Every structure is written in structure tokens, then in C-alpha cells.
Amino acid sequence: MKRTGAQIIWECLIKEGVEVVFGYPGGTILPAYDAMLDYPSVHHVLVRHEQGGTHMADGYARASGKVGVAFATSGPGATNMVTGIATAMMDSSPIVCITGQVGSSLVGLDAFQETDVTGVTLPITKHNYLVTRVEDIARTIREGFYIAKSGRPGPVLMLINSAKRPVILAGHGVLQSSAMQVLKDFAEKAQIPVAMSLLGIGGLPANHPLNLGMMGMHGEAWVNHAIQQADLLLAFGMRFDDRVTGNVKTYAPKAKKIHIEIDPSELNKVVKVDVALVGDLREVLNEVLPLVAVGDREEWIEHINEMKGDSAVRDIQNLPDTGHLYAAHVINDLWRYTEGEALICTDVGQHQMWTAQYYKHNKPFKLITSGGLGTMGFGLPSAIGAKFAKPNAEVWAISGDGGFQMTAAELSTAAQENIKVNVAIINNGYLGMVRQWQEFFYDKRYAATPMKSPDFVKLAEAHGLTGIRVTQRSQVESAIRQARETEGTVVIDFRVEKEDSVYPMVPAGADLHNMIRRPMPKKPLNESLKHEEEMEFAK
């Protein structure tokens, strides 16, 4: 029985197990949308901007482990997807984007809403196609899904067994290869502490005694010091991003380096390693684990704990309740009141780093954030996508006032779909992370970072949703409780301290151990902490 090209698209998607797509119709994609009505098993989510659609597909993919699908028309519809495609590519998130194109007889003639989409997206995709014949549609979709799901989504023992001060660097690949259990088994058997990248958070429970916490530019101080003092680094499914390494020339200078990575192009690209292993992380670790000796590294672990001290809670303690609302308090309270069980999607900026520091994840796939590209506007739409993937999960989007406004129109998507996503806006009246850099490195010359925002409570209400404003810490608990108990999406506007900064911070290009620490408070909170604070800030 003959099928039109549009019918073939939907039947192929159904065969691939697609249940939901995120899209925005337009002229050249209309045949596909017309055919969609005959395939009600696929739920279509009408987004408000094509960038939001790709972020939703991305959030769906990261939360479900399946391929996310986004639709757009030709020309500006397709080019509006570019940021979302690049975001997914940088973080190896499997999405398939289907766009319309002008008729094949008009390709190359600068017809209305024609853009060379394959040319535009070639550097930011694993593969792309220009389909001009109906008979190629089914094969192309099958290949596209296969490519999206495969590969990078991408002397050893004597080095490991003889190391005195080893550290495992756990990246996004731990989650993507479902290597969480074998990572835990490996670390426990060899007694090697584990440092997490931003996207690796959740690969090992936060409360595990071998989990050191996050490394890198805004990582924990003791983690960065441990890496710099290590004699062996075991890089598991991570790319040695510049936000992790700092100055590559002085990065872990005493350490041998073993890198396990599914994408061979990442090996020796940034950091030269002593041993490179290409393959799926879970498969490689399962082969190596039986051959690794049982470790006794109590002295090394005790040394790291001495560097750590009690500074894990020091930043919170140094932010007293003086009438000001601090972002660290908000996120730490959110973690406590949700018992660490919420699925958190973030935008990019200060709030993203505070979330990584103060919302502790003991389970995988509970933190969805833009790592490699650092895409503002990612938080809300990715949370909507994640909610479709995990309809029974408690989903929170944590955004800054700047990033939230980039895709705030997707509140209408949440309202139209009647889904439950809670939105926490960390509103400090600035483009916060840029302002922090201006404070540290540009003598507080705040050029184009003070930001006026709409009334977010009224904005939520304009979309038919609930809005709440919080200005004091005493209001945080009741606001979170109200948001959790209210049906539909809720927006909370947390008016936090304007010029607070994320600590510690490794300046771009600086040595990893050269961190900017929180300044010594003028008055200690109490006498019992005074000596400890002086010792900590003297380090």
C-alpha cells in the first residue's frame, strides 16, 4: 500500500518507539503536520520557539534515555534550532531534528524561507541529511535514529595498582553508558576517591564516602587540590574540558593519566595521557575490574579529608540570616525540603553552580544542565521535556533572571499542556556570572549586566499559572511547600542578594589550585567558628 512521504515519517517514528515530539509548524513542514492527525499515538507538544523545542527534546532524551524528537519548518524555523542542536551535541545528548525544506526544484535558488540547513548544522551534528526523494525517507530516519543512539551519544593495571594517590575523574560518560554500579564497585575495590564533573553528578551517590564532589572552575577546593597532588588520574567518560582543567600546562603535574572514552577524537585532544582506552565505559570497566587489586589508600583518603575539613558547610554558615536572601540558602533549602529526590533542570550561570554545590544528588539522571555549550534559556524547556519523559517525577527548573527570560514564553507551553513543573528563579537583578567576572577582573565596571526584569509573579499569572515571590529566608519553606502542593506549573521569584558570588573560583586559564575563596567575613557568626574560619581562609 502506497504511503506519502509525510505518512512515512510518522510511521517510521512510531516504529522507533517515539511517543512525543516537540515542534512548531510552518509552510514547508505542513504536509507532515497534516498527516500527524492520522497518527494519534504520537503526542505533539506545541512549543513557543524552535529553540525551546530542541531543548525540550534534549531534556526528554536525558531524562528518559531515549531519543528526543523536534520538528520545525524551513528557513528561520530550522535556524532557530541551531542553539539547541549545538547544546545537545556538546553534551552528547541523542536528539533527532526534522525540518521542512523548500521544494526540491527550488533548492539553491534562494526561495522564500530557504536556508542551507545541512550546511549550517554540519559542524554541530553527528550527521545530517537533505532528503529529496520519498523513497529515501524511511531509510534516512532509521539511520538517523541509529546514529543518534550509537557511539558517542561515544601496562594499565600496573599503573592503577601501584598508585599511592589516585583520583577517578567521573564524567558524563558514566551516566550515558550506565556505568554507575561498576564505577562504584571499582572505586570501592581499589579505594580510589572520585571527583565529579558537572555532567557526571549522580554517577556516584553524593553521600558515598569516596565521592569528593565537583571538580573544576567552581568545584570544591579540596577536590582541585587532590587532583593537583595526585600521582594517577583515571578519566572515565570525560573530555578534560577547560572548565575542569584550568591551565593545562600545570594540570596534575605529578600524575600519570589513563583515559577511557568512547569517542577516539577526544583522546589526547586537550590533555596528553599515558594510556588511552577506546570503548564503552561500562564494558571497559567490567573487563578491568576483576584484574584490579584491592586497594589500601587510607592515608591518601585521610589527607583529602583533612584538606576538606568542615568547609563543605562553611559557605552556608558564612551566610547568616540578616534579612538578605542568599541563593545558596534557597537551593540548600530546596534540597532539604524535597529530600534530594527532585529532578533538577538548570539554566546556565551562578545558579547552575550553586545548584551543583548545594543540591546533592544520590541518584543518576537527576540533574539536567547544559555543560559544554553553556546555553542560557535551557532550564525551563528542558524541564518541560524531562516532565514528559518522567511524568511521575517532581521536576524543578532552576534559572537565573537572565536565562529565564530567554525562553520564558514556554510557560505558555506548560500551561497549554497542563503539566506540573516548578520554576525557581534566582533573581539577583544582574547577569550574575558575568557580573561576578566584572567584579573580580574588571574593577567592578558593571557594563551591560544590571538587568531589569518583568514582575515574574504577574508574568506567571498572565499565563494562567501560579506565581510566588520570596524575599526572606523565612518564606522559603512555605513557598516550596505551596509550589509542590499546587496543581500545574508554579513560578517562584526568589529575590536574592544582588552581588553575591560563587566560591571557590578558578580564574579562566589559571592553575587549578589557584582558587579565589570567599572573603573573610568582618564578624564571625560565633566564637566557636572564629578559629576554624581563620584557618580555612588562610589556606
User: Which residues partner with 72 through β-bridges?
Assistant: 99
Q: Tell which residue, 468, 167, 158, has the closest CA to residue 307.
A: 167
Q: Up-side HSE of residue 486: CA atoms within 13 Å toward CB?
A: 19
List, for residues 178-188, the tens digit of each pLDDT value. 999 999 999 99
Mean pLDDT of 456-474: 97
Q: Name the burial class of residue 494, with classes exposed (0-12), middle (13-18) and buried (19+) by CB atoms within 10 angstroms of its CB.
A: buried
List, for residues 240-267, the tens digit of each pLDDT value. 999 999 999 999 999 999 999 998 889 8
List, for residues 367-395, the tens digit of each pLDDT value. 999 999 999 999 999 999 999 999 999 99
Question: How long is the chain?
Answer: 539
Q: What is the DSSP letter of 533?
A: H
Q: Is the pLDDT of residue 128 over 80?
A: no
CB 117 within 8 A of CB 101: yes
Q: Which CATH architecture has domain 327-495?
A: 3-Layer(aba) Sandwich (3.40)
How many beta carbons lie within 10 A of that of residue 296, not counting itself? 9
Spell out the SS3 assignment of 167-194.
EEEECHHHHHCCCHHHHHHHHHHHCCCE
CATH topology for the 5-149 domain: Rossmann fold (3.40.50)
Q: How far apart are CA 110 and CA 311, in angstroms?
A: 60
**pTM for the structure as a whole:** 0.88
Q: What is the DSSP letter of 520?
A: P
Q: How far apart are CA 405 and CA 398, in angstroms?
A: 13
How many beta carbons lie within 10 A of that of residue 410, not counting itself? 31
Look up residue 307 and give its three cell numbers. Answer: 584538606
Alpha-carbon torsion (501, 91, 208, 362), positive or negative: positive
All residues at 6 or more sequence positions from 181 whose CB lies less than 8 Å from its CB, including other chains: none
pLDDT for 136 equals 79
List, for residues 496-532, the tens digit of each pLDDT value. 999 999 999 999 999 999 999 887 655 444 443 443 3
Bridge-based pairing state of the strands 256-261 and 166-170: unpaired
pLDDT for 313 equals 62
Q: What is the DSSP letter of 521?
A: P
pLDDT for 118 equals 77
Three-class secondary structure of residue 306 per DSSP: helix
Instruction: Report cis status (omega within 30 of 0) of the bond before 519.
Output: no
Task: Select 156-306's CATH number: 3.30.70.590, 3.40.640.10, 3.40.50.1220, 3.30.390.50.
Answer: 3.40.50.1220
Domain spans of the chain?
Answer: 5-149, 156-306, 327-495
CB 63 within 8 A of CB 368: yes
List, for residues 277-307, the tens digit of each pLDDT value. 889 999 999 999 998 999 899 999 999 999 8
Report the mean per-residue pLDDT for the chain: 89
Alpha-carbon torsion (238, 243, 245, 247), positive or negative: positive
192 or 152, which is more confident = 192
Q: Where are the alpha helices (DSSP H) in 72-114?
A: 76-79, 82-90
**In this structure, which amino acid lies at residue 225?**
H
Query: 547544559: which residue's cell?
Result: 370
5-149 and 327-495 in the same fold: yes
